[in-house]
Amino acid sequence: MLKAFYKKHGEIGTDEAGRGCLAGPVTAAAIILPKKFENKILNDSKKLSEHKRELLRPIIEESALSFGVAHVFPDEIDKINILNASFLAMHKSIDLLTIEPNFIIVDGNRFKPYKDVPYECIIKGDGKYMSIAAASVLAKTHRDAYMEKIHLEYPMYNWKKNKGYPTKEHRDAIRKYGITPYHRKSFRQLPEQLKLDI
């Protein structure tokens, strides 16, 4: 079972989803869990089935002292690059919290400081600490819901299944139909592509 991290009461866990996608936003969540929060299923969202993530989402949202989820969309990703867009999504998700942050734990090894709040980066933190794992589940489920919504507009890319990741099916659809306004123009959409005609 995952642990609590607590250096200070009211710490925030934050994580993102969708960095490696060809289409759709990068989405981040920030969450403050109660000190006594426990859940035996909770883990890094990548290690959970879609069914378990969907079961966990309402439990996490109802249990949280505060949480925020934010998207950064492809036009912004193309302007500032995916790493900066990931940091921006995390900052935006922290902005949505109703409790003033006093310490932030971040999944991964890099982060841009948020105001003057102390933080710690934790490699594979979403498989170690509950608040980061909870943020990873929220980021993933909210992003998946968004991709399922835009799938209705462009069903030929099958985003409801691949969620915008570079699967063979998604790339075959790009070859056949080209790109949409939801695709990231700064990303290499096809392996053989040298530049994208836009």
pTM (predicted TM-score) = 0.92
Q: Kindly indicate the confidence band of residue 194, based on its pLDDT and cuts at 50, 70 and 90.
A: very low
Pairing of strands 26-32, 12-17: antiparallel
Task: Calculate mean pLDDT across residues 107-122.
Answer: 95
Q: What is the rounded distance in angstroms from the CA atom of residue 148 to the CA atom of residue 159?
A: 6
Give the contacts of 20 (CB within 8 A, at least 6 positions apart). 165, 166
Task: Calculate mean pLDDT across residues 101-125.
Answer: 94
